[in-house]
Structure 1
Amino acid sequence: MTSTHGASDVAVPTFSPRLTRRAALAGGVGTLIEYYDFSVYGFLAVTIAPLFFPNSDSTASMLAALAVFASGYVVRPLGGVFFGWLGDRYGRRAPLVATIVGMGLCSGLIGILPTYESIGVLAPVLLVLLRLVSGFCAGGEIGGAATYIAESTPPERRGFFGSFTPFGSTFGFATAATVVAVVTSAVGTGTMSGWGWRLPFLLCFPLALLCLWARARLEDTPEFTKTKQEGRQAKWPLLQVLRTNPVAVLRVIGVAVATNGTGYIGLVYMNVYLIDDLGYPAGDVSWLSAGVIALACFTMPFVGLLSDRWGRRKVIATGVVGYLIISYPVLALMESADSLLVVGVLYLAFMVLNALLQVPAFPMFTELFGGSTRYTGVALGFNLGTILAGGTAPYIATLLVQQTGDRQSPAFWVMGAALVGLLSLIRLRETANTALPR
């Protein structure tokens, strides 16, 4: 069955509420587990650094560990292209199953790696290899989840249900922080450096099986089924999207630079900043991060509703302007604060602004591409933006502090990323409440 939306003559599917809820849940939960797998390394970077990169200079050791974190992002565009081709050519479901298996295995295997003390330089080599394969799989995850949810959701509710994608990815970070905090409290800091750090990685194995069970039950979206029936699948989606819609890819890259360049400072670097630079206990910081990120996540459905009512472009613009205004003052006030509670309030303000960027961005990305190239276009643009400003953000922030001696210098990185996002919105037509392009 089909219906028309507004004055448009474009036929759109009639959406089943059950299918919509199921798609949002499977997409959100799957993304949560996958980003737990991918992000737990970031929360253990301070512990892992001397185990895999021993150095008399602790900052050099930390930079090496963060460089490995960034390496997982280098191959993400390749994963986005591969899984995008698979999703646009053969269906959305298969890559969503494949990515969870790949990421779960790689992250779990990190938990059984020997350290530098046991096998020397081979230990960091194996660590890098596992992060690269994990990053390749991650390249197909969030674009696929966003596409699947968008194609299973009515236009007027796409922002709300689309919020499950960033909710899942961000709550994955909160879950990782919580697990690290629980394990640290249970075994103690000394044991954490000995073998406790392995437990959060080993948890990836059962979580991957849980997500595999949920996603294996999914059907392909009505949108892809219709595209397949009409024979409109692109033989080479990458070439087609670059030839027919390069401006949309550039817009996705620019907005992704803003969402990732700001978000990863809060999600990953803030832990390094609070522990290494401001001297707060690692266990306390893990609990603080978990609480702040979780609270920010629960604002996301409301931001999704706002983007359905107010428009994607206005909500994103509000977020990037907010970062331009508060980034430096937030870091400065954190340094001068004498209470972790005050730090937490400032941290929460920083993360809520990221919700204003992330939540409307994902449905907007899907609304810029036709069904035959949607998965590839979203995955390619988002992953290129993530390389430029996501995985590199903690490393660059740490390097800025080391080189300048100014603990607030990472704020300039955040402001630069926000400015790129603002420029990407210029002359962008509003896409909320419209049928997805064919």
Structure 2
Amino acid sequence: MAQAGAEARGTGHGLVIAGASAGTIFEWYDFYLYGALVGVISKHFFSGVNDTTAYILALLAFAAGFAVRPLGAIVFGRLGDRWGRKNTFLVTMLLMGLSTFVVGLLPDYSQIGVAAPIALIVMRLIQGMALGGEYGGAATYVAEHAPPGKRGLYTSWIQTTATLGLFLSLIVILLIRQEIGEDAFNAWGWRAPFLVSIVLLMVSLWIRLRLNESPVFQQMIDEGKTSRKPLSESFAKGGNLKLVILALVGLTAGQAVVWYGGQFYSLFFLTKTLHVDDALANGMVALALLLATPFFVVFGWLSDKIGRKPIILAGCALAAIGYFPLFSALTVAANPALAAASAKAPVAVIADPATCSFQFDPVGKTLFTSSCDVAKAALASAGVSYQNRDALPGSLAQVEIGAKLFPSFEGAGLAKKDFTDRQTAWRKDLGAALKAAGYPAKADSAAVDKPRLLGILFLLVLLVTMVYGPIAAALVEMFPARIRYTSMSLPYHIGNGWFGGFLPTTAFALVAATGNIYFGLWYPVAVAGITAVVGWLFIREMKGNPIEG
């Protein structure tokens, strides 16, 4: 049987890689449409709350899909180790495609009220479950076909699929936007990319139905060596459980925050914080992805030569060191007027700390009426970074712009309509004061230093390719074949689903709480730094380990 497995592994490599990769690209396309359209979706499905809360809720709905990925990894990982690699990722693909198609048909908040965001989140949960079972199957399937000495190269093609899926989603969005115009796209055209996914589903199913089962899994079936209890073998036995924990803390957690920091948080930062035009931001990120994507394969190939560990951990360490200067440079390149105004006329909120709230209202019923809350909400909405300085107890909050003080107002006791009218007028006056100090309402597309911006985005994505290119081979080689699907899927999806998927929400909440537009970077910097240290000390290089047993 070993000889038959070797023969199977030596044939049809192109079809194996193409089949597994193409289907996974389409799954990632489906999953990341939401992330690329989070600003538009927040207006349609969370319009019953204020702008800041709506955006945070939209990010939380985005993160919901990541939250259940570990559950999907457990459910489908178990099926993959008992039922087979191919059969399992056919099911995950069907779930992903149908749930994505349904998102394009959902009525919005104006039509069915609170049922709209609930239905949206349900679809995101189904997507997350499906993706939780997809990656482990595809990576395991390709690795188990790869000849010795080429696992890093072969599985690196799977690693390109997440970026290519994101790239495909951005391109489809840009083409539809260009074809129908921005107003029509924001009104109804955003649904088209979701509806198109039904075509991709059909193509993906056709491709994957042509594939055979993994030779390693087929050999285990023939020899009666498949696991009867992959969950207990993976997580109840001390030796394997230790490997699962090390894979999470020493590899996938840092890989995840670098992946989402370089590709997703950079896009959120450009559009939400720096107020770069959506089409321009999406186009620049898409171009950076296109230029950097070949390096997934380069670093996968290199990992076959020098090992998985040094490349992945070097990428984590470089991200921990480089994120603050890179994102600072991003501000200068994308919105030079904002960078100049922040340096020339820094902003501070001077207020009694006791009057300042954490402004997150999931049901949209609370009015944040204190003078401190009024000031901070206005600055957060304008994307202006500010410092917090304490004032005397009970004093009226003030916004300091350069050397000038701009008093807030106290809204407590005002009727809701009176407060809203007063707030609108005050924000208009604040906007004028900020404009006079050089703060732009949005980035001037003509003033964007596009070559510099593209270079910074390319560096961010290059770090992504370092940590992500070799990760599949590293995880496959850590675990025995009989429980590989289950064992590698859980740490991968906890890392990417929780540590990575919650990055935008966590970072945005940190920025909103502190007023510092760069403060959210502490989250990926800390996680990547911890992974670099733990991985270096405790992860054993497993390049070249036999994977049949």
Q: Is TM-score (shorter-chain normalized) higher than 0.5? A: yes
Equivalent position of 2:403 in the other structure: none
TM-score (norm 1): 0.95
Task: Write the distance in 2 (CA, Å) between the matches of 1:210 and 1:419.
Answer: 41
- Stretch deviating more after TM superposition (395-404 or 108-117): 395-404
Residues 286-295 or 366-375, more deviating: 286-295
Question: What does residue 215 of structure 1 align with?
Answer: 208
Mapping 1:135-284, distance limit 5 Å:
135-242=128-235, 243=237, 244-254=239-249, 255-284=251-280
Which residue identity lines up with residue 323 of structure 1 in the other structure? A
Q: Is the 8 A contact 2:101 2:196 kept in 1?
A: yes
Contact 1:368–1:437 (CA under 8 A) maintained in structure 2: no
Q: Which moved more, 1:22-31 or 1:201-210?
A: 22-31
Indicate conservation of the 8 Å contact 2:216/2:548, yes or no: no
Aligned to 2:514: 404
Aligned-partner SS, 1:235: coil
Partner residue of 2:459 out of 342, 346, 349:
349
What are the ranges of 5 or more consecutive residues in structure 1 without an aligned counterpart?
4-10
Whole-Å separation in 2 of the counterparts to 1:136 and 1:16: 30
Deviation at 1:180, TM superposition (A): 1.2
TM-score, with structure 2 as normaliser: 0.76
Correspondent of 2:327 among 323, 328, 331: 331
Q: Return the offset for 1:367.
A: 0.4
In 2, the alpha carbon distance for the partners of 1:58 and 1:181 equals: 24
Deviation at 1:55, TM superposition (A): 4.8
Q: How far did residue 251 of structure 1 move?
A: 2.2
Deviation by residue 1:339-386 (Cα, 9 ceiling, x = unmatched): 133122111101111111111111110001111100001111111112
Is the Cα–Cα contact under 8 Å of residues 30 and 97 in structure 2 kept in the other structure?
A: yes
Confirm or deny: 8 A CA contact 1:278 1:335 kept in the other structure.
yes
> What does residue 321 of structure 1 align with?
317
Q: Is the 8 A contact 1:320 1:357 kept in 2?
A: yes
SS of 1:346 mapped into structure 2: helix
Distance apart, 1:293 and its partner CA: 1.5
Structure 2 counterpart of 1:384? 494
1:70 aligns with 2:63: yes
1:122, distance to aligned residue in structure 2 (A): 0.6
Change (3 A) 1:278 1:27: same
CA deviation map 1:301-342 (0-9, x unaligned): 111110000100111121111112211000111112241331
Q: 1:370 maps to what in 2? A: 480
Cα offset for 1:21? Answer: 2.1
Q: Which amino acid aligns with 2:539?
A: L
Bigger shift: 363-372 or 290-299? 290-299
In the other structure, the counterpart of 2:405 is none
Which digits, 9 at most, give the CA deviation of each residue in 1:175-215, with x for residues without a partner? Answer: 11111111122222211111010011111111011111111
Q: Residues 237-267 of structure 1, C-alpha deviation per residue, up to 9 Å, x if partnerless?
A: 0110111401221122222211211211222
SS in 1 for 2:62: helix
Q: Is the 8 A contact 1:307 1:315 kept in 2?
A: yes
1:286 corresponds in structure 2 to: 282
Shift in Å, 1:284? 0.8
Match of residue 86 from structure 2? 93
* Counterpart check, 1:340 vs 2:333: no
Q: 1:105 aligns with which of 71, 91, 98?
A: 98
Alignment RMSD: 1.6
What do the CA deviations read for 1:87-108 (whole angstroms, capped 9, x no partner)? 1112111011111110000011
Query: 2: distance between equivalents of 1:260 and 1:211?
Result: 26
Bigger mean CA deviation after superposition, 104-113 or 249-258: 249-258
Q: Which moved more, 1:404-413 or 1:207-216?
A: 404-413
For the pair shown, which has the larger CA radius of gyration, 1 or 2?
Answer: 2
Moved more, 259-268 or 192-201: 259-268
Shift of 1:410: 2.7
- Partners of 1:300 and 1:355 within 8 A in 2: yes
Q: Provide runs of 4+ in structure 1 moved above 6 Å.
A: none
More deviation, 117-126/263-272: 263-272
| Greater mean alpha carbon deviation, residues 386-395 or residues 85-94 | 386-395
The residue number in structure 1 matching 2:345 is none
Equivalent residue, structure 2, for 1:8? none
Aligned-partner Cα distance in 2 for 1:113–1:241: 39
CA–CA distance in structure 2, aligned partners of residues 302 and 272 of structure 1: 28
> Bigger CA drift: 61-70 or 425-434?
425-434
In 1, the alpha carbon distance for the partners of 2:484 and 2:539 equals 18
Aligned partner letter, 2:494: L
Seq. identity, %: 30
Greater CA drift, 183-192 or 156-165: 183-192
Q: Indicate yes or no: 2:307 matched with 1:311.
A: yes
Change (3 A) 1:101 1:188: same
Q: Structure 2 unaligned segments of length 5 or more: list them.
A: 337-448
Report how many aligned residue pairs link the two structures.
431
Q: What one-letter code is carried by the residue in structure 2 that aligns with 1:262? A: V
Whether the 8 Å CA contact 2:100–2:197 is kept in 1: the answer is: yes
> Are the equivalent residues in 2 in contact too, given 1:27–1:164 (CA < 8 A)?
no
Provide the secondary structure at the position in 1 that maps to 2:89.
helix
Deviation at 1:17, TM superposition (A): 4.0
Give the one of 421, 424, 427 matched to 2:535: 424
Give the AA of the match of 2:478: L
Match of 1:80 among 73, 78, 87: 73
State how far apart, in whole Å, the 2-side matches of 1:148 and 1:426 are.
30
Letter in 1 for 2:537: I
Residue pair 1:28, 1:169 contacting (<8 A) in 2 also: no
- Provide the rounded CA distance (Å) in 2 between the counterparts of 1:408 and 1:80: 33
My pick for the range that moved more, 242-251 or 151-160, is 242-251
Letter in 1 for 2:328: A
Distance 2:480 2:115 in 1: 45
**Contact conserved, 1:33 with 1:208, CA < 8 A, in 2?**
yes
Question: Is the CA contact (8 Å cut-off) linking 2:289 and 2:461 kept in structure 1?
Answer: yes
Q: CA deviation at 1:437?
A: 5.4
Tell me which moved more, 64-73 or 18-27: 18-27
- 2 CA distance for matches of 1:363 and 1:313? 11
Separation in 2, partners of 1:85, 1:29: 24
